[in-house]
Every structure is written in C-alpha cells, then in structure tokens.
A and B are shown apart, each in its own frame.
Chain A
C-alpha cells in the first residue's frame, strides 16, 4: 500500500513568471562551452539568488564579528543577525520554538549529530534501526556505523520497481526492538516523495522516534514539522538557494535536551573545570565552536526569498517541467527513466542504452547542459535497478521548458556520437 500526501493546498502555476525569477539568479546568465548555461543539477546544489549574495556580503562588509561572546557593537549585530536567521528557520518549518533549530553544516552533519547524541546514548545491542532502500548514504552510513559499534541491527524498508516504499513491509519491520526510523522526505536519486507523515504516525504507534532527511524535501515542498510530527528533520541550506555550510537539524526540544552533546568545545558549555564540564542549554549545546555565521545568515535570506515567492506557483511550475521532461525523454528511443513513482519531486534520472552516464554527462556539458552523472551517493538504489550509475536532471523553479528542449537535443547528440 502506498500512501500519498498533499504537497501544497490548492493549485497554482498560471502566474509563474520564470523570466522574472531568472533575473534573481546572476549565475544563470553565462555561457558554457560557447552555449548559454542550462543548469539542471539543482538536486546536487541549487543556485543562489542576488538577495542572498547581497546579505552575505553586507554581513562581511559591515557586521562581521564572533557571536555570543563579545559585548561590543559588532558582536551584538552579528549575534542578532545569526539568531534572526534561526527565527526565520523556525517559522519556515513551523517549529514550536527556535531553540529546536540547530545550525549545522548540512544534512550529513545533522544526521551524525543525532547518531552521536541520540543513537550512542539510547541504542544498545539487539536494538534495531530502520532505514529505507532509497536512502542517500548520509542517512545510511552513520546508522551502519552505529549498528557496528553497538551490535544493533539495521533493517531496510524495501521499494518497488517504480521507486515507492512498501509500507506494509515497513509495518512488518516495526517492533519493540526498533529504536529509530530514518527516512528521506524526497529521494535524491529517484525523485520519489515519501509519505513521511504516514511513516511517522505508524512509528509513533510503537513510540519510535523518526528522523527525516529533508535535503530534497525543503527545496520543493512545504515543510511543517508539527504537522508531520517527526522527531528530527534535517535540512541542507545549499540545496535551498543558500550558501554551502548552512543547514539545520530540527529536533523536538524534549529529545534534544536528553541527548548527549555532539562536538565538545567552546560555546556548548555552561561551566568547565578539570574535574568536569556541564553543558549549555539547547541549541548552544550542539553548536560548539564558531559556526558558519555568514552562511547561516545567508540561509535566513534564502528563506526570505522563498517567502517572497508564490511557492504554490513555483511548485506547479516545477511539476510541469517534470511532466514535460518525462514525456519528451521517454519518447527518445533507448532512454529508460529510473524512478517512476506516482508522487515525485522534479528529479529525473535516466540511462541511455548501454552508454555510461559519465559519457552522457561529458557530452551534455559540451552542449552547455549541467546534469549529475554517477551513483548519487545511493549505491543500493543503483543495485536495485541493476545499473552502475544514472544521469540525473533536476529542476528548480527557475528552469524553463526551453531548457528541457536543450536537454533533449543534447541527449539526442549523445545517441548520435555513440551510434
């Protein structure tokens, strides 16, 4: 049984002015190999709008200082901008309190924080952790490491050949030994939107907490952590139009409070003596050392930018690009789409005949079309579909149908070269 969830209420799309939106992204207006750039690698890293670039350089020009320690003017300005960004994150994901939003470098660090802080404290020999077959390595390898250390067992929710999780199988895996369920909101390698609200509800029936990898969820979907009722939700800023080095781990306050700290050092302590140290309250407990202040402030600006858009219309535009690209690409002889779930974000993975995706990627690049080729840090997914790698086009709301046409023409060029 596959459950589906509403992404945005209502329908948008009619009023999306993509030409206007593209002007906000300076990087898009350039040529690559003599052709105008077609950037379709948004699932790897999305581009940054001018407002984010300007906010970051304003910080560096006028506000830079270390946070939470200086009594001087600049430190107060930096602190206020940094904490202001945390408040924006809180509203963006509808957390109850801003102290539930920990700044991290990205999802990888967020998942590792939970692994060390929660997993190492509460998981012991014989316990089980559930992940899904389509997890990115960042939400798989940390749990393998934990299981190895503790003698715990990793269980895997299987998927069907469309790339949809089998929820009945998930029910069968859940039991009194399950300590944590870790699943991606949207698959980076297949585009599948997973029914994470339903998964969370089923896990909670047994009192099992749920971590959601939101790396691909936050850029495409409305995220409401209270509605999902998930216990942890991890975000990478650079996949949602903010600089690299910005990210958020959301956690329910009562869980974060009983967890061990992650990194030890400055800022995360209350008192330190050679005998022992006591730790600061959340979120500081998890933010040792000087954070990526400019990046966090940039993430706040990216949220401002997203809030300034009609996100329903943006979503509808992405879905139309996905529909159009899927239709056009499927019509090309020799192309096989990998990932055909009913509920998908605008991620389109494919293979062409026996042509290796790296050859596809190089030839597309010569045509000015940037895509990702490889295993997408999801080697078990490649194994499921019996391919060594795939080519992946991923669309943002600033992409156009003309760019999809350029992709299709470049794919045809690949087929010509290898004919």
Chain B
C-alpha cells in the first residue's frame, strides 16, 4: 500500500481546487455523459472534433478530488491530439490505473498523468480516476454530430465496468 501522499499529491489537489477546462464548450460537436451510480459521480465531457483532431475539450460535473483532477488533466492531455493519439492515451491510462502497465518500465505517452499511478493501490477509487477517461472515450467513439448549428450534438453515455 502506498502512502496517502502518493494518492493526494499536490498536483491532484491543485486540479481539484482549480479544475482546468471546467466549463461547457460552446460549439462542441461531441458530448458524452459519465455516471457512476455507486458514488453518484457525474460528469459531462464536451469535445470539438475536427478532421480527426480533438481541437477543444472541456468538462463539467461533480465528483471527488480524484475524479475531478483526473478529468481536468485528461482535458489538458487530450486537447490537440489526433483520434489515434487520444485512443492510445486512453488505453495507457486505463492499463496504468488497473496495474497492468508499469509506467516506469514500459514505453508510454503518459507524462504528467503518471501521478495517477498510485490509485491502483486503492481498488475502490480506480473508477474515480477512470470515469473521465471512459467518458472522453465515448465522445471520441461517438458519431459525428450534424453540422447544422440548431441540431444539438449527439450524447454518448460512458459505462464504467472494470
């Protein structure tokens, strides 16, 4: 079991207090909702996808410090990435929090996201960190919304199953 300080690192606490990209994104063409019925965590991810690139990304919602910080740092990490790069990050993050990827030994693109590695020692909290990523992934996989402005974006729903 890692020390508590490895889970609640300053960076995580900072993102919890001042989440980045924490607003509804006007002009988003992908919207996805994530919900964890066990704890009531809920978030909506807004994505502007253009020619296979995530041009902009934001979220709103309620949740614990881990989920809020994970969502905040997810938006920073995925913004500007291609669909394939975002998919790779999703896979790597997912495997890291489940303890299937050794982020120090195996080559990866996680960078600052490695601070969430400690969550794998808290099985009850893994979903908190992965929910924003699942929600982003659902938006990524979602059908392109109609380009007509008065049609709303499609809403995809993320499932948390691990």
Q: Report the bound CA distance from A355 to B66 in whole Å.
A: 11
A365 nearest CB across to chain B (Å): 9
In the assembled complex, A363 has its CB within 8 A of some CB on chain B: yes
What's the minimum C-beta distance from B12 to chain A, rounded to whole angstroms?
A: 10
Contact B4 A359 (CB under 8 A): no
State whether the Cβ of A379 lies closer than 8 Å to any Cβ in chain B. Answer: yes
Question: What residues of chain A lie closer than 8 Å to B41, measured between beta carbons?
Answer: 388
Q: How far is B40's CA from A95's CA once the two chains are assembled, in angstroms?
A: 40
Let me know if A417 is at the binding interface, CB within 8 A: yes
Q: Is the pair A374, B4 in contact by a Cβ cutoff of 8 Å?
A: no
Count of chain B residues near A, Cβ 8 A: 18
Known interface pairs A374-B39, A382-B40, A388-B40; A417-B8 also in contact (CB < 8 Å): yes
- 0/1 interface trace, chain A 399-419, chain B, CB 8 Å (1 if under): 000000000000000000110
Separation in Å of the A326 CB from the closest CB of chain B?
A: 25
Known: A374-B39, A379-B40, A388-B40. A362 touches B125 (CB 8 A): yes
| Residue of chain A at shortest CB distance from B65 | A359
A389 within 8 A of B: yes
A356 with B8, Cβ < 8 A, contacts A374-B40, A382-B40, A417-B13 known: no
Contacts of A4 in B (CB 8 A): none
**A358 contacts chain B at the CB level, 8 A cutoff:** yes
Q: A362-B122, A362-B125, A388-B40 are in contact. Are A356 and B63 (CB under 8 A)?
A: yes
Does B39 lie within 8 Å of A355, measured CB to CB?
no
**Contacting residues of chain B (1-15) with chain A, CB-CB under 8 angstroms:** 1, 4, 7-8, 13
- A331 vs B63: C-alpha distance when bound (angstroms): 26
Shortest Cβ gap from B37 to chain A (Å): 9
Closest residue of A by beta carbon distance from B124: A362
Contact A389 B40 (CB under 8 A): yes
Q: Is the CB of B66 within 8 A of A359?
A: yes
Whose C-beta in chain A lies nearest to the C-beta of B42? A388
Indicate if B64 sits at the interface (CB-CB under 8 A).
Answer: yes
Q: Which residues of chain B are near A356, meaning CB under 8 Å?
A: 63-65
0 or 1 for each of A374-409: is its CB under 8 Å from B? (1 = yes): 110001001000001100000000000000000000
Q: Flag whether B128 is at the interface (Cβ < 8 A).
A: yes
User: Is B38 in contact with chain A by the CB < 8 A criterion?
Assistant: yes
Interface size class of A (residues with CB under 8 A): 10 to 19
CA A351 to CA B53, docked complex, whole Å: 41
| A273 interfacial by beta-carbon distance below 8 Å | no
- Residues of A352-379 at the interface with B, using a CB-CB cut-off of 8 Å, are 355-359, 362-363, 366, 373-375, 379
Q: Which residues of A contact B8 (CB under 8 A)?
A: 359, 363, 417
Interface mask (A265-285 → B, CB under 8 Å = 1, otherwise 0): 000000000000000000000
Inter-subunit contact B1/A33 (CB<8 Å): yes
Asked if residues A418 and B65 are in contact (CB atoms below 8 Å), the reply is: yes
Looking across the interface, which residue of chain A has its beta carbon closest to that of B122? A362
Encoded as 1 (CB less than 8 Å from any A CB) or 0, chain B from 1 to 35 comes to: 10010011000010000000000000000000000
Output the least CB separation between A386 and chain B (Å).
11
Chain B: CB-nearest residue to A374: B39
Give Cα A418 to B8, complex, Å. Answer: 9
Rounded to whole angstroms, the CA-CA distance of A357 and B66 in the bound complex is 12
* C-alpha gap A417/B13 in the complex (Å): 8
A358 with B13: CB separation less than 8 A: no
B62 at the interface (CB under 8 A from A): yes
Mask, A321-359, CB within 8 Å of B = 1, is 000000000000000000000000000000000011111
Known: A355-B65, A356-B64, A356-B65. A417 touches B4 (CB 8 A): yes
- Are A375 and B4 in contact, with the CB atoms below 8 A? no
Task: Kindly report which residue of chain B lies nearest to residue A34, judged by CB atoms.
Answer: B1
Q: Are A358 and B4 in contact (CB under 8 A)?
A: no
Q: Is the CB of B1 within 8 A of A358?
A: no
Q: How far is the CB of B124 from chain A (nearest CB, A)?
A: 8
Residue of B nearest to A373 (CB): B39
A374 to B124, CA, bound (A): 12
Alpha-carbon distance between A375 and B39 when the two chains are bound, in angstroms: 7
- Write out the residue numbers on chain B whose beta carbons fall within 8 Å of the beta carbon of A375: 39-40
Binding site for A on B (CB under 8 A): 1, 4, 7-8, 13, 38-41, 62-66, 122, 124-125, 128
15 contacts between A and B (CB under 8 A): A356-B64, A357-B64, A358-B39, A358-B64, A358-B66, A358-B125, A358-B128, A362-B4, A373-B39, A374-B39, A374-B40, A382-B40, A388-B41, A388-B62, A417-B13
